[in-house]
Amino acid sequence: MDLESTMEWNKNFQTNSIFVYNFPNEWMENDIKKNFMIFGTINNIIIDKDINIYAFIQYNDTEASQKAIEVMNGKEINGKLLKVTSRKIVDECIDMNTNKLDSQQKSQSSNDNKKTTLFVFYLPPHWNDQDLFDKFKTFGNLESATVAKKNDKTSKGYGFVVYTDPHSAALAISNMNKVEVYTGKRLKVLLKSSSNETNKRKIKPGCTIFVFYLPNDWSDKDLKRHFSHYGNILGATIKRETNGKSRGYGFINFENQQSAINAVAGMNGFNAGNKYLKVSIKKGEEQYLAPQYLNIDRMNNSYNSPPPPPPPMSCHGNESSNYANNEMYSIQNTMPNNRYNSRVSTNDVHQSFINTQYGHFPYNFFKNNEQGPYMQRSYNKTYNNMGKT
């Protein structure tokens, strides 16, 4: 799909059509269809297979398109937040990439020998490779220039230029972006995403946690918000049925192991809408954890292991009104008795205090653990003063 036909198609935008962008780079037409067909019958999908920046999806009815927008807009997939709307133009899709220019140019400037590719949109229909080359060669050492073509050899309206160094590319962007080279046509020049960008976001072993017993109404955004206090999150996804209904579990990818461990220690047993979350390190990745962290994850299945260190108080709280007094994540109703030792009363004041200070640890486990004397001393001192003014 060339930009000319896209703009024309967008002028006649129907109410049962949606505009999708910021999807994963590896997605093709089949991937888009697989993720959006659950909302209704799709009549048509238009996607530019050369640059995979945006796509149009036309449903058979308006209800399906509205449902797709409600469910998919803002959904996080592979670390990227989908943008789904009913009325946007291609310019807005392209402009979202301009925010990446400064940071990518800075990262590339450290290596003057690194080749840099630019996208050039809104080319005059009569331009060929040589015309594009001649227009951009004045800004530095230009290695190549290519105009994308259709099957009939006519221009698609955009092309690529490759410089041998990032400085020349930056100069080309500053001088050629939004320059009118044809009546009613202004070039759009953008830096191509770095090929290493995805690799930098690869998840390290031991940094992924699984979260079970999620509330049915939680979205990916809700999941991320509740866990974002423990460290930088690269991705958070709730698994769903083909009809979009939550399966009740999901996973979160943290940037480092410490954040994942803090999340397990702080959120396992968290009361989320009459459900108690079960949080653990991804099965099979415990072996990558540092020895001092191993017992933290084991506490999910056994209470004979040493307790994890209490989550830092800076981790508690969120955007709720309880943020200031740490009530959101520190003061929780205790879990059912069968989750802990049956001798511990649900309303036991000991358990309430422990929940407040250290998260969801059973009182007997805490009391009898010989490896937590600092916790015991803190408990004795504070509990003895409870109720005193």
**Domain containing 102 — which CATH number?**
3.30.70.330
Task: Specify if 342 maps to a domain.
Answer: yes
Task: Specify if 125 maps to a domain.
Answer: yes
Of 88, 111, 145, at which residue does a domain stop?
Answer: 88
Task: Specify if 199 maps to a domain.
Answer: no
Give residue 310's domain range.
208-332
Task: Specify if 200 maps to a domain.
Answer: no
Task: Specify if 201 maps to a domain.
Answer: no
Task: Specify if 203 maps to a domain.
Answer: no
SS3 181: strand
Q: Are 320 and 222 contained in the same domain?
A: yes
Of 296, 316, 332, at which residue does a domain stop?
Answer: 332
DSSP 341: -
Q: How far apart are CA 330 and CA 246, in angstroms?
A: 27
User: What is the C-alpha end-to-end distance of the chain, expressed in Å?
Assistant: 74
Task: Specify if 54 maps to a domain.
Answer: yes
Which of 254, 220, 250, 208 is closest to 234 using CA atoms? Answer: 254
Of 59, 88, 117, at which residue does a domain stop?
Answer: 88
User: How is residue 359 written in tokens?
Assistant: 């998260």
Please count the other Cβ atoms lying within 10 Å of the Cβ belonging to residue 151. Answer: 5
**Number of domains forming the structure of the chain:** 4
pLDDT value for 149: 87
Task: Specify if 202 maps to a domain.
Answer: no
CB 125 within 8 A of CB 108: no
CA 155 to chain centre: 35
pLDDT value for 291: 56
Q: Are 226 and 327 contained in the same domain?
A: yes
Q: How far apart are CA 105 and CA 118, in angstroms?
A: 12
Q: Are 227 and 327 contained in the same domain?
A: yes
Per-residue pLDDT of the chain (389 residues; tens, 9 = 90+): 444 444 444 444 456 788 887 788 778 888 889 999 999 999 888 775 444 567 888 888 888 888 888 888 888 888 778 888 775 444 444 444 444 444 454 554 444 457 888 989 889 889 999 999 999 998 888 999 999 888 888 888 889 999 988 888 888 888 888 888 877 778 888 887 544 444 445 667 778 888 999 998 888 888 988 898 888 888 888 988 766 788 889 989 888 888 888 888 888 888 887 788 888 887 776 666 655 455 554 544 443 333 444 444 333 334 434 433 344 444 344 344 344 443 434 444 444 444 444 444 444 444 444 444 444 444 444 445 544 44
| Cross-strand partners of 19 | 56, 85
CB 257 within 8 A of CB 290: yes
Q: Are 174 and 187 contained in the same domain?
A: yes
Q: How far apart are CA 278 and CA 352, in angstroms?
A: 19
- Residue-by-residue DSSP string for 343-368: TS-TT-HHHHHHHHHHSS--HHHHHH
pLDDT value for 55: 80
Q: Are 361 and 374 contained in the same domain?
A: yes
